[in-house]
Chains A and B, each alone.
Chain A
Amino acid sequence: MSNKPLSLEEQLKVNDLTVRFYTYEGIVKAVEKASLKIRKGETLGIVGETGSGKSVTALTILALTPSPGRVEDGNILFRKRDSSVIDILRMNEHQLLQIRGKEISMIFQEPNAALDPVCKVGEQITEAILAHRLREMVEKSIEVIKKEKDNEYDLWTRLETWTYKEMLNNPSDVRLKIIQKIPIIRDITKRRLRQVIRQEIVELLKLMEIPDPGRVIDAYPHELSGGMQQRIVIAIALACSPLLLIADEPTTNLDVTVQAQILDLINRLKEKFGSSIIYITHDMGVVAEISDRVAVMYAGSVVEVAPVKELFRNPLHPYTKGLLESIPRPGSPLKSIPGTVPNLVDPPSGCRFHPRCAYMMNKCKEIMPRLVKVSEDHYVACLLYEGESDD
């Protein structure tokens, strides 16, 4: 288990991550010793067929591995905003709450399914803000009250200011808890806080280039179009300007024109928020356009990592070659990789690609290849190539 420390400019490093699913049909080895690393401000594309473990890896980074999956091995090192390094897999529930949505957040494939159908869009964004930026919002509310000079001594305002001070100084005050329980009073004491948050959301939605944010806030998810819903999901993800944004095939379900707008939006936001992005997709075209470096996954493990130009120009791993060749090009015959994705309950021994590999050698069946450094920033996990294993 290689737990090499995180270098300064690296944001996240996944070392030999192994995830198993204990289902009726047997133990599914979904992710087998996958290793990745992302530098600050970089966009890493993860490419692979469905069932290659992309989504599971992404969710595990947020320690949200779907049941009945269990992380068997490996660790995920992450450099927090205060540049301390933590291993996400060793965090307890309370610590994870500080990271999810604040340090790392996620965008999902089906925007419609990612929003609660019975909650207004505004409410779902407010939740994210309240979860992490409460202090900031309360301080802003206090400023707002200070500015409104005239009703300094109105009873309700004094009660409101008192509540905000309590929220800041000792949030666990008993009286505070009681007030929050009484339905009407609870709302009155937070009028300005709500205004401040609403203003914050309007700003955020403007950033997402959503027209008429006032209406959208009070709308229900099903009242918006697919593209608009995805922008809301992005807004929620970026509400607390996370360091790392994981995008799990955000544009697959959208039609092409909207897809382009969303990709363009994500790029511009990357500059503005300076967060690094993990972009998961099975569409080579999208990867080429958006990512700085690309990692190719097959049957649960990372088989090749390289800068995007290097990968397209000089693919080394047979599977990557196959993938690139199978992109339909006008005029040339269609080519596809023979065979199907292996059954992960009892995957092929050694290198999992060997049954479909044209360069298959005997030892491919015995040894599970490890990622080796072939050239500057280019790694490949294939016995055809030699090189000292990096990390």
Chain B
Amino acid sequence: MSSNLRTYIARRLILLVPTLIGMTVLVFAITQLFDPIERAALYITEPRQARFVKEIIAKYGLDRPVYIQYFNWITQVIQGNLGWSQSLHMKVLDALVTRFPATAELAIYSTPLIILFGIYLGKLSAIKRNTVIDHASRVVAIIGWSLPSFWLGIVLLAIFYGGMGVFPPGRLSEWAEALVRSGEFKLYTGLYTIDALINLNFSVFLDAIYHLVLPVITLTTINVALIMRVMRSSMLEQLNKMYITAARARGLDEKTVIDRHATRNALIPVITLSGLLAAGMLSGVVITETVFEFKGVGYFAAHAATQLDIPAVLGFALFAGILFILANLIVDILYAYIDPRIRLG
């Protein structure tokens, strides 16, 4: 890597620290709005435990001033201990690590689809501007974008799983879960599809895909419009540029002009957006994970937020922050790679 690229990356990573601190301060500020008893409610799941409220507050220091709580939390984090998630009854770090594969699997299969469909539809409707195809593809994309994700998910589930008994929720069917649990099936990445391929067990692989179909369809329909709109306007912009006329003047046929010149230039803004889309996937999957029983990081964070499981939400904030900065960094590097005019550093 060229030297200025390395300095650029270093500078961006240093930027990570203030953002992360900022995010955790934000979360702690929110905790300030809660009464210690409300935070103790997290530890009391049944009314018969309710009478121990005072002792629990004292034990977990829920009523200590916020800056002391923040200081304790930071010292813990530096030693790599993200604290205990009471909503999941396990270490926050373990929770994030064990839950991330589910979200990753959803993201890995839906993001490329979203980008590919988005680019294809965007290019198509730009080339055939103001024709029936243009309007049709835009309408399809906008429909996808306006559908409430939870409603779409549940209806899909009702039709396919309820009506026809296909595409059940969850990540694997029972027999596959048993196989995975039984230990013969070695888990490398936690992503069932990839692990199945490594273990050369195709029935588990097909079963995992079988469970992924509906959630991926839900996620894709919702996000395609985003990419499509940007691709369409960027494509239109390029088609009106002088170098396209020059390319045609050189005797290149329409297809080459479109594919080799217009599309390459039009992809630049799309790359930036897809980077942000991948980072934004975290809050996007919460609903899909809830409806389809995909116990991923989004579901865990949403659950923790509603139960005021502060250490969990803080752990999640760090995770989301790092992901956001990395996504932006990758997008910038991709940007510089594609568009030679931009020099990093």
Are chains A and B touching directly in their complex (CB below 8 angstroms)? yes
A residues neighboring B (CB under 8 Å): 59, 62, 64, 66, 93, 97-102, 105-106, 108, 110, 113-119, 124, 127-128, 131-132, 220, 222, 233, 236
Q: B163: shortest Cβ distance to chain A, in Å?
A: 42
Task: Say whether A116 contacts B341, CB under 8 Å.
Answer: no
Contact yes or no, A100 B250, CB < 8 A: yes
Tell me the smallest distance from the CB of A35 to a CB of chain B, in Å.
Answer: 23
| CB<8 Å pairs between A and B, sample of 22 | A64-B248, A66-B245, A97-B251, A99-B251, A100-B250, A101-B250, A101-B251, A108-B245, A108-B246, A113-B241, A114-B242, A114-B243, A116-B247, A116-B261, A117-B265, A117-B339, A127-B247, A127-B252, A127-B256, A131-B251, A132-B251, A220-B341
Instruction: Give the chain A neighbours of B248 by CB distance below 8 A.
Output: 62, 64, 100
Q: Are A101 and B242 in contact (CB under 8 A)?
A: no
Query: Which A residue's beta carbon lies closest to that of B254?
Result: A93
Chain B hits for A66, CB < 8 A: 245
* Distance between Cα atoms of A115 and B340 in the complex (Å): 13
Q: B253: CB under 8 A from chain A?
A: yes
The residue from A97, A114, A116 contacting B253, defined by CB atoms under 8 A apart: A97
Distance (Å) between the CB of B168 and the closest chain A CB? 39
Contacts of A108 in B (CB 8 A): 242, 245-246
- B264 located at the interface, meaning its Cβ lies under 8 Å from any Cβ of chain A in the complex: yes
| B68 contacts A by Cβ under 8 Å | no
**A115 — which chain B residues lie within 8 A by C-beta?**
243, 246
Top 5 A-B pairs, shortest CB-CB distance: A101-B251, A113-B242, A100-B251, A114-B246, A101-B250
Residue B338 is within 8 A (CB to CB) of chain A in the complex: yes
Q: How far is A97 from B256 in the complex, measured between Cα atoms in Å?
A: 12
Residue pair B265, A128 in contact (C-beta under 8 Å): no
Q: Which of B249, B260, B339, B341 contacts A106 (CB 8 A)?
A: B249
Cβ-closest chain B residue relative to A123: B260
A345 to B41, CA, bound (A): 75
Residue of B250, B265, B339 with most chain A CB atoms under a 10 A cut-off: B250
**A116:B251 contact, CB within 8 angstroms:** no
CB pair B340–A220 under 8 Å, yes or no, is yes
List the A side residues contacting B242 at CB < 8 Å. 108, 110, 113-114
- Kindly count the residue-residue contacts between A and B in the assembled complex, taking CB atoms under 8 Å apart: 76
Q: What's the nearest-Cβ distance from chain A to residue B205, in Å?
A: 27
- B249 to A62, Cβ gap below 8 A? yes
Besides A100-B248, A117-B243, A128-B250, 5 more A-B contacts (Cβ < 8 Å) are A101-B250, A102-B251, A106-B246, A106-B249, A113-B242
Determine if A118 and B339 form an interchain contact, defined as CB atoms under 8 angstroms apart.
Answer: yes
Query: Judging by beta carbons under 8 Å apart, are A131 and B250 in contact?
Result: yes
Select which of A59, A98, A220, A236 is within 8 A of B250 by beta carbon.
A236
Q: Write the B254-281 contact mask toward A (1 if CB under 8 angstroms, else 0).
A: 1010001100110000000000000000
Quick check: B249 and A100 within 8 Å, CB to CB? yes
Given contacts A116-B265, A117-B340, A118-B338, contact A101 B249 (CB under 8 A): yes
Q: Is the CB of B246 within 8 A of A222?
A: no
Contact of B251 among A110, A117, A128, A222 (CB under 8 A): A128
**Most chain B beta carbons < 10 A, residue from A93, A99, A106:** A106
Q: A113-B243, A119-B261 are in contact. Are A105 and B341 (CB under 8 A)?
A: no
Give the nearest-CB partner of A240 in chain B. Answer: B251
With both chains docked as a complex, state the minimum distance between the C-beta of A246 and any C-beta of chain B, in angstroms.
Answer: 9
Within 8 A of A (CB), among B298-345: 338-341
- Most chain B beta-carbon neighbours within 10 Å: one of A66, A93, A98, A127: A127
Name A66's closest neighbour in chain B (CB-CB): B245
Task: Give Cα A35–Cα B241 distance, bound, in whole angstroms.
Answer: 29
Residues of B within 8 A of A236 (CB): 246, 250
Chain A residues lying within 8 Å of B245, measured Cβ to Cβ, are 59, 64, 66, 108
The chain A residue sitting closest to B268, CB to CB, is: A118
CA gap between A118 and B256 in the complex, in Å: 15
A275 to B: closest C-beta gap in Å: 15
Which residue of chain A lies nearest to B341 when distances are taken between CB atoms in the complex? A222
CB nearest to B239 among chain A residues: A67
Query: Quick one: closest B residue to A113, CB to CB?
Result: B242
User: Bound state CA distance, A295 and B50, in angstroms?
Assistant: 98
Residues of B within 8 A of A105 (CB): 249-250
* Interchain CA distance A102-B251 in the complex, whole Å: 7
Assembly CA distance A99 to B249 (angstroms): 9
- Scoring A98, A118, A119, A132 by chain B CB atoms within 10 A of each residue's CB, the highest score goes to A118
Q: In chain B, residues 187-209, which have Cβ atoms closer than 8 Å to a Cβ of chain A? A: none
- Tell me which residues across on chain A come within 8 A of B264, comparing CB atoms: 116, 118-119
For window 155-169 of B, CB contacts with A under 8 Å fall at none
Q: Which residues of A contact B254 (CB under 8 A)?
A: 93
List the A residue with the shortest CB-CB distance to B339: A118
